[in-house]
Amino acid sequence: MNLQSLIPLVLKASVLLNVFAIGLQASAQDATYLFRRPRKLASAILAMNVVMPVLAVAMVIVLDLDPAVNIALVALSVSPIPPLLPKKLVKAGGTASYAVGLLITIGLLSIIFVPLAMEVIERVLKVPLQMSTISLATLIFTTVLLPIGLGAAVHRFVPSVAERLAKPITQVAVIGLLACVVAILFVAAPMIWALMGNGTGIALAAFVLVGLAVGHVLGGPEPENRTALALSTASRHPGIAVAIAQTNFPEQKLAMAAVLLYLLVNAVVSIPYQAWAKRRIPDAENQDGRPLS
């Protein structure tokens, strides 16, 4: 097995472990946090499931970007539950319940919103999208709902085991993701370089910045939760985005490179916002009195 075939397997395993770790840290109260707060739920849906796909479509129509970048933007905009661990959101300023509840709720609702968004985008852009609702639902179930559900079940029935597993699994997931990023950079560097120019970097940075701004504005009156929604809105699930892109546009070999470039741009652009948020909320790690692993 060569490096190019190994990278997708490690990336998928790391993302699954990442989502499983989210479930390990989720109580029943966390999982239903946003469902018990309809206004906050509506704001999260508006930010993550409405504004970002509309923004992506507008950028595709208005800007003269590489087709692979257009595909990546649309695929990313409809991809649910970003690979952010609750601890990162809490450190940035969110409460533990809101952070975990946000990721779980968006993951659950994605089985409805992703196929719907794909249908609307297909009609607006008049581009045939081949990924069926069943295929999308299966992908979301296996990559989001199943690992979260398994983690939450462990938390519910054997909380002591969940507490012990959360940190090492998180560490393995992070190491795997970082290793994949380095490996992909090594393998895909020529493809990423081929995408640079023609405003690609600026467009991806704008996509992230608008996501941060929209999430921050719609995050509600509590400044600690604005940050969590901002980071979650600006971040998307790379695994699902790549699957959507490859299924519908298999001839566009640069689409995966465009998704990776977005991840790098996202990481860089988000740093100043996170630093600013931490200064505003010095005690962010203990917002609701319980640390996350």
221-264 residue pLDDT tens: 877 788 888 988 998 877 778 888 888 888 887 888 888 888 88
pLDDT of residue 131: 67
The span from the CA of 279 to the CA of 116, in Å, is 39
State the pLDDT confidence band at 285, using cuts at 50, 70 and 90: very low
pLDDT of residue 214: 94
The span from the CA of 235 to the CA of 223, in Å, is 19
pLDDT of residue 96: 66
Asked if residue 11 lies in contact with residue 239, where contact means CB atoms within 8 angstroms, the answer is: yes
Give the range among 9-23, 30-44, 182-196, 272-286 with minimum mean pLDDT: 272-286
Map the chain to HEC letters: CCHHHHHHHHHHHHHHHHHHHHHHCCCHHHHCCCCCCHHHHHHHHHHHHHHHHHHHHHHHHHCCCCHHHHHHHHHHHHCCCCCCCHHHHHHHCCCHHHHHHHHHHHHHHHHHHHHHHHHHHHHHHCCCCCCCHHHHHHHHHHHHHHHHHHHHHHHHHCHHHHHHHHHHHHHHHHHHHHHHHHHHHHHHHHHHHHHCCCCHHHHHHHHHHHHHHHHHHHCCCCHHHHHHHHHHHHCCCHHHHHHHHHHHCCCCCCHHHHHHHHHHHHHHHHHHHHHHHHHHCCCHHHCCCCCCC
What domains appear along the chain, each with residue ranges and CATH number? 3-281 (1.20.1530.20)
Q: What percent of the chain has pLDDT over 70?
A: 85
pLDDT of residue 197: 72
- AA identity, residue 213: A
The span from the CA of 60 to the CA of 125, in Å, is 9
68-102 residue pLDDT tens: 899 999 999 988 766 555 555 555 545 667 777 88
State the pLDDT confidence band at 287, using cuts at 50, 70 and 90: very low
172-196 residue pLDDT tens: 988 887 887 787 777 777 777 777 7
Q: How does the average pLDDT of the chain come out, rounded?
A: 81
